[in-house]
Amino acid sequence: MVFIRIYNTGLATFYYWNLYYLKSKNITIDQISYRVIKSILIKLNNSSKIVRLVRKLLTDKSNILRDESSFKDIIKGIIAPITLFFDKNIIFSTLVYSNRVYYAFLLIIFGKNVIYFTSWPYWNTNRYEEKPFFNKWIWNLFLKKVKIVTVSKTSCDVLKSEGYNALQIPHSVNLKLYKKDNKKNKKIRILYVGRLVEGKGIMDILEISSKFPKDKVEFLFAGEGPLVNVIKKSENKLPIKYLGYIKDTNKLNKIYGSSDIFVLNSYATERWEEWFGISLLEAMASSLPIIATDCVGPKEIMKDNKVGFLIPQKNKKELYNKLNILIKNKKLRTEFGRNGRKLVEEKYDIEKNSKKWLKILKL
């Protein structure tokens, strides 16, 4: 039995589906987060009822830490800097130019098999996730000593051009879990799945939805975030429906399968961009046509592939036009959906890509 520890900012498992898929091959995966202490301090600072907060933590019924809702996970995160010295195989993921690189480099010195996992494509530019504080030299040394796995080809090519040993292993989906529901919907269902935040272009989607008749089109939103209340308040006057945050994978997959069009309307901010787009893969695996903006991830996935429309960021006119085309043209929706499913089968199948991790881990 081989044990692999993932040490990263949060406990969201969907970034590591390729690795978790290897559980069936006598490999044990465990995740711990270094964000938990910061999360606790933030919540304590914002809470006037500390006793109630502590009670929720101890009973493990709270969502106050988002991914880190388990008290067990909190304890693991706190003691992680010590326990990691007893692990051999470590997948390390941290913000670019974060000072946590000193700890990661220390693990390498102690002979740990550290693999740096990243999706950042803007190395040696003026764009940063965290501004460097006299630590670029140690990052350069760290990247030369460590194995690097990137999510996107864009990121991989940039790192290789800088002389680092990088390999791309894209996010993947289990194709067995996704299929198209061929039942005819009374309305054209346009689906969005993900965080409900400004950077995902949610407000533009809401505005565009007002241009379509409620009896023919329905915009579905699945996820959670600060814009939930905005969406809920718009349900009565716009052709939209809020589905909530859907934790049940089977239920979410059925929603994909019963929809007609998928939209990912993200735009780049100073510190974030749609680096990949797992929801795109899920939608394509469900044979949905795609409308997505030209962020790094969607642009790479959809380039030269007739799976939908790639539109400029923050362009409401193009979003409306492309939606209008797909709503009116069922034949085109079917063609794009079929091409999308084929693309996922060829490049983003979890069965194929998980084997790449076996090679880099030398297992």
pLDDT of 128 over the 50 cut: yes
Confidence at residue 61, expressed as pLDDT on a 0 to 100 scale: 38
Strands, E assignment, 151-223: 166-168, 188-193, 217-222
Kindly give, in sequence order, each residue whose CB lies less than 8 Å from that of residue 266, ignoring residues fewer than 6 positions away: 199, 200, 201, 273, 274, 292, 293, 295, 298, 313
pLDDT score of 19:
86
In this structure, are 167 and 229 located in the same domain? no
Determine the 3-state secondary structure of 80 from DSSP: helix
SS3 at position 312 = coil
Residue-by-residue DSSP string for 221-289 = EE--STTHHHHHHHTTTSSEEEEE----HHHHHHHHHT-SEEEE-----SS----S-HHHHHHHHTT--
Q: Which two tokens stand for residue 131?
A: 């501004």
What's the whole-number mean pLDDT along residues 43-69? 47
Q: Give the model confidence (pLDDT) of 294-313 as tens digits.
A: 999 999 999 877 999 999 99
183 with 168, same domain?
no
Residue 183 above 80 pLDDT?
no
Segment 83-88 shows an average pLDDT of 87
Domain with 286 in it: what CATH number? 3.40.50.2000
| In a shared domain, residues 181 and 110 | no
Write the pLDDT tens digit of every residue in 333-353. 999 999 999 999 999 999 999
322 and 195, same domain (yes or no): yes
Domain that residue 237 falls in: 175-347
How many Å separate Cα 61 from the centre of its chain?
25
184 and 91 within one domain: no
Question: Mean pLDDT across the stretch 112-123?
Answer: 92
Q: What is the pLDDT of residues 190-233, one digit of tens each?
A: 999 999 999 999 999 999 999 999 999 999 999 999 999 999 99
Q: Residues 187, 88: one domain?
A: no
Q: Taking residues 170-196, report their average pLDDT.
A: 91
Give mean pLDDT, residues 150-171.
94
Least confident among 54-58, 169-173, 175-179: 54-58
Find all residues with CB under 8 Å of 236, minimum gap 6, and list them.
Answer: none
Judged against a pLDDT cut of 80, whether residue 47 lies above it is answered with no
Looking at the fold, whether 295 and 306 belong to one and the same domain comes out as yes
Q: What is the mean pLDDT of the chain?
A: 86
* pLDDT above 90 for 66: no
Residues near 96 by Cβ (< 8 Å), separated by ≥ 6?
A: 118, 120, 123, 128, 129, 130, 139
pLDDT at residue 149 greater than cutoff 60: yes
Same domain, 219 and 205: yes
- Cβ neighbors of 59 (< 8 A, separation 6 or more) are none
In degrees and rounded to multiples of 5, residue 240 shows phi and psi of: -130, 160
The pLDDT score that the predictor gives to residue 67 is 44
CB 361, CB 4: distance < 8 Å? yes
Q: Please tell me whether residues 42 and 94 are part of one structural domain.
A: yes
Domain count, the chain: 2
pLDDT at residue 22, rounded to an integer: 84
pLDDT at 34: 64
Could you tell me the pLDDT band of residue 65, with boundaries at 50, 70 and 90? very low
Does the pLDDT at position 70 exceed 70?
no
pLDDT of 35 reads 61
Band of pLDDT at residue 38, cut at 50, 70 and 90:
low
Residues 165 and 181 in one domain: no
Structure tokens, 137: 């030299």
Q: Is the pLDDT confidence value at 169 over 90? A: yes
pLDDT number for residue 11: 58
Look at 15 and 26; give whichever has higher pLDDT: 15
Q: What is d(CA 108, CA 310) in angstroms, rounded to the nearest whole number?
A: 41
- What CATH number should be reported for the domain holding residue 119? 3.40.50
Top-confidence residue, 43 or 142: 142
Same domain, yes or no: 318 and 293: yes
Q: Kindly tell me if the per-residue pLDDT of 84 is higher than 90.
A: no
* Residues 225-234: b if buried by 16+ CB within 10 A, e if exposed: bebbeebeeb
pLDDT reported for residue 75: 76
Is residue 147 located within the same domain as residue 215? no
| Per-residue confidence band for 117, with pLDDT thresholds at 50, 70 and 90 | very high
**What is the Cα–Cα distance from 168 to 275, expressed in whole angstroms?**
13
> Which residues 6+ apart lie within 8 Å of 85 measured at CB?
107, 110, 112
